[in-house]
Protein backbone atom coordinates (compact mmCIF):
# COMPACT_ATOMS: atom_id res chain seq x y z
CA UNK A 1 0.00 0.00 0.00
CA UNK A 2 1.22 3.56 -0.56
CA UNK A 3 3.12 4.95 2.42
CA UNK A 4 3.40 1.53 4.05
CA UNK A 5 6.84 0.37 5.12
CA UNK A 6 8.08 -3.05 6.19
CA UNK A 7 9.16 -3.12 9.84
CA UNK A 8 9.88 -6.85 10.18
CA UNK A 9 9.81 -9.87 7.87
CA UNK A 10 10.70 -13.53 8.31
CA UNK A 11 10.18 -16.85 6.56
CA UNK A 12 7.88 -19.41 8.10
CA UNK A 13 9.51 -21.81 10.54
CA UNK A 14 9.55 -25.57 10.21
CA UNK A 15 6.47 -27.15 11.76
CA UNK A 16 5.93 -30.40 13.64
CA UNK A 17 4.42 -32.35 10.75
CA UNK A 18 7.32 -31.61 8.41
CA UNK A 19 9.76 -32.91 11.01
CA UNK A 20 7.54 -35.92 11.82
CA UNK A 21 7.11 -37.10 8.22
CA UNK A 22 10.76 -36.36 7.47
CA UNK A 23 11.71 -38.62 10.38
CA UNK A 24 9.48 -41.40 9.00
CA UNK A 25 11.26 -41.17 5.64
CA UNK A 26 14.72 -41.15 7.23
CA UNK A 27 13.96 -44.19 9.38
CA UNK A 28 11.81 -46.08 6.86
CA UNK A 29 14.02 -45.60 3.80
CA UNK A 30 17.00 -47.64 5.03
CA UNK A 31 14.67 -50.27 6.51
CA UNK A 32 13.02 -50.78 3.12
CA UNK A 33 16.40 -50.95 1.41
CA UNK A 34 17.62 -53.56 3.88
CA UNK A 35 14.34 -55.46 3.52
CA UNK A 36 14.77 -55.72 -0.26
CA UNK A 37 18.40 -56.75 0.07
CA UNK A 38 17.73 -59.43 2.70
CA UNK A 39 14.53 -60.56 0.97
CA UNK A 40 12.43 -60.17 4.10
CA UNK A 41 8.85 -61.28 3.61
CA UNK A 42 6.54 -58.80 1.93
CA UNK A 43 4.46 -58.64 5.14
CA UNK A 44 7.18 -56.39 6.59
CA UNK A 45 8.57 -54.55 3.56
CA UNK A 46 5.39 -53.64 1.67
CA UNK A 47 3.60 -51.80 4.53
CA UNK A 48 6.80 -49.95 5.41
CA UNK A 49 7.31 -49.04 1.74
CA UNK A 50 3.75 -47.68 1.54
CA UNK A 51 4.27 -45.70 4.75
CA UNK A 52 7.46 -44.10 3.42
CA UNK A 53 5.86 -43.27 0.06
CA UNK A 54 2.83 -41.83 1.88
CA UNK A 55 5.25 -39.77 4.01
CA UNK A 56 7.13 -38.34 1.02
CA UNK A 57 4.04 -36.62 -0.40
CA UNK A 58 3.20 -34.52 2.69
CA UNK A 59 6.88 -33.75 3.32
CA UNK A 60 7.33 -32.35 -0.17
CA UNK A 61 4.02 -30.43 0.00
CA UNK A 62 4.76 -29.00 3.46
CA UNK A 63 8.33 -28.15 2.48
CA UNK A 64 7.18 -26.21 -0.60
CA UNK A 65 4.44 -24.46 1.40
CA UNK A 66 6.89 -23.48 4.16
CA UNK A 67 9.48 -22.15 1.71
CA UNK A 68 6.86 -20.05 -0.08
CA UNK A 69 5.41 -18.55 3.14
CA UNK A 70 6.63 -15.26 4.55
CA UNK A 71 5.34 -13.07 7.34
CA UNK A 72 5.42 -9.28 7.30
CA UNK A 73 4.87 -6.68 9.98
CA UNK A 74 4.43 -3.34 8.25
CA UNK A 75 3.56 0.09 9.52
CA UNK A 76 -0.08 -0.68 8.66
CA UNK A 77 -0.73 -4.43 9.07
CA UNK A 78 0.46 -7.96 9.80
CA UNK A 79 0.44 -10.25 6.76
CA UNK A 80 0.98 -13.88 5.85
CA UNK A 81 2.09 -14.08 2.22
CA UNK A 82 2.44 -17.28 0.25
CA UNK A 83 3.82 -17.20 -3.27
CA UNK A 84 3.32 -13.44 -3.54
CA UNK A 85 -0.36 -13.65 -2.54
CA UNK A 86 -1.68 -12.29 0.79
CA UNK A 87 -3.30 -15.18 2.68
CA UNK A 88 -4.14 -13.39 5.95
CA UNK A 89 -3.83 -9.85 7.15
CA UNK A 90 -4.69 -7.91 10.29
CA UNK A 91 -4.70 -4.10 10.22
CA UNK A 92 -2.72 -2.61 13.11
CA UNK A 93 -5.44 -0.08 13.90
CA UNK A 94 -7.34 -3.02 15.46
CA UNK A 95 -4.80 -2.87 18.32
CA UNK A 96 -4.56 0.92 18.69
CA UNK A 97 -4.81 2.12 22.28
CA UNK A 98 -5.17 -1.41 23.65
CA UNK A 99 -2.55 -3.27 25.67
CA UNK A 100 -0.92 -5.65 23.18
CA UNK A 101 -0.35 -8.21 25.93
CA UNK A 102 -3.96 -9.35 25.71
CA UNK A 103 -3.63 -10.11 21.98
CA UNK A 104 -0.05 -11.38 21.77
CA UNK A 105 1.47 -14.60 23.04
CA UNK A 106 5.16 -15.33 22.50
CA UNK A 107 6.14 -18.78 23.76
CA UNK A 108 9.59 -20.35 23.70
CA UNK A 109 9.11 -23.77 22.08
CA UNK A 110 12.69 -25.01 21.95
CA UNK A 111 16.33 -23.95 21.65
CA UNK A 112 18.58 -24.04 18.59
CA UNK A 113 22.30 -23.44 19.04
CA UNK A 114 21.54 -22.36 22.61
CA UNK A 115 19.18 -19.61 21.37
CA UNK A 116 15.46 -19.62 22.15
CA UNK A 117 13.04 -20.24 19.29
CA UNK A 118 9.55 -18.79 19.68
CA UNK A 119 6.05 -19.35 18.42
CA UNK A 120 4.21 -16.05 18.23
CA UNK A 121 0.42 -16.01 18.31
CA UNK A 122 -1.42 -12.79 17.49
CA UNK A 123 -5.17 -12.66 18.11
CA UNK A 124 -7.13 -10.24 15.92
CA UNK A 125 -9.62 -8.50 18.26
CA UNK A 126 -12.07 -7.74 15.44
CA UNK A 127 -12.31 -11.06 13.58
CA UNK A 128 -11.12 -13.56 16.25
CA UNK A 129 -8.58 -14.97 13.75
CA UNK A 130 -5.22 -16.15 15.04
CA UNK A 131 -1.86 -15.63 13.39
CA UNK A 132 0.56 -18.34 14.43
CA UNK A 133 4.14 -17.62 13.43
CA UNK A 134 6.50 -20.47 14.28
CA UNK A 135 10.27 -20.77 14.46
CA UNK A 136 11.10 -17.13 15.22
CA UNK A 137 13.95 -15.50 17.13
CA UNK A 138 13.77 -13.15 20.13
CA UNK A 139 14.00 -10.06 17.88
CA UNK A 140 10.73 -11.08 16.28
CA UNK A 141 8.97 -11.02 19.65
CA UNK A 142 10.37 -7.55 20.34
CA UNK A 143 9.03 -6.26 17.00
CA UNK A 144 5.55 -7.63 17.72
CA UNK A 145 5.46 -6.21 21.26
CA UNK A 146 5.77 -2.70 19.75
CA UNK A 147 2.44 -3.06 17.88
CA UNK A 148 0.27 -1.69 20.69
CA UNK A 149 2.56 1.21 21.55
CA UNK A 150 1.23 4.64 20.71
CA UNK A 151 3.28 7.56 19.44
CA UNK A 152 1.67 10.98 19.72
CA UNK A 153 2.23 13.41 16.87
CA UNK A 154 4.03 16.51 18.22
CA UNK A 155 2.14 18.74 15.75
CA UNK A 156 -1.50 17.64 15.95
CA UNK A 157 -1.48 15.33 19.04
CA UNK A 158 -2.93 12.44 16.99
CA UNK A 159 -2.19 8.96 18.42
CA UNK A 160 -0.30 6.87 15.84
CA UNK A 161 1.06 3.36 16.18
CA UNK A 162 4.70 3.24 17.26
CA UNK A 163 5.55 1.58 13.95
CA UNK A 164 4.36 4.60 11.93
CA UNK A 165 6.90 6.97 10.42
CA UNK A 166 4.36 9.64 9.44
CA UNK A 167 1.26 10.92 11.20
CA UNK A 168 -2.00 9.46 9.93
CA UNK A 169 -3.76 12.76 10.57
CA UNK A 170 -1.40 15.52 9.37
CA UNK A 171 1.29 13.51 7.49
CA UNK A 172 4.07 14.99 9.59
CA UNK A 173 7.27 12.99 9.95
CA UNK A 174 7.37 11.30 13.36
Q: Residue 78: how many CB atoms within 10 A of its CB?
A: 24
Helix (H, G, I), strand (E, B) or coil at 27: helix
Average pLDDT for 108-125: 89
> pTM of the prediction?
0.69
Spatial CB neighbours of 43, under 8 Å, sequence gap ≥ 6: none
Higher pLDDT, 134 or 161: 134
Q: Please determine, for residue 68, whether its predicted confidence score (pLDDT) is greater than 70.
A: yes
Q: Residue 121: how many CB atoms within 10 A of its CB?
A: 16
Q: Is 41 in contact with 53 (CB distance < 8 Å)?
A: no
What is the tens place of the pLDDT at every residue in 11-61?
A: 887 767 777 777 777 777 776 666 666 665 556 667 777 777 777 777 788
Q: Please determine, for residue 72, whether its predicted confidence score (pLDDT) is greater than 90.
A: yes
Amino acid sequence: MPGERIVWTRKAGTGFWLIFFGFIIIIGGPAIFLGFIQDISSEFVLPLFLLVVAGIIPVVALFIRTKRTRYYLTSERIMEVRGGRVIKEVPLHHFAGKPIGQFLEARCTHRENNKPIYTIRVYDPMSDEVFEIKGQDQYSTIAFKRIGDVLECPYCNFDNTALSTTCKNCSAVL
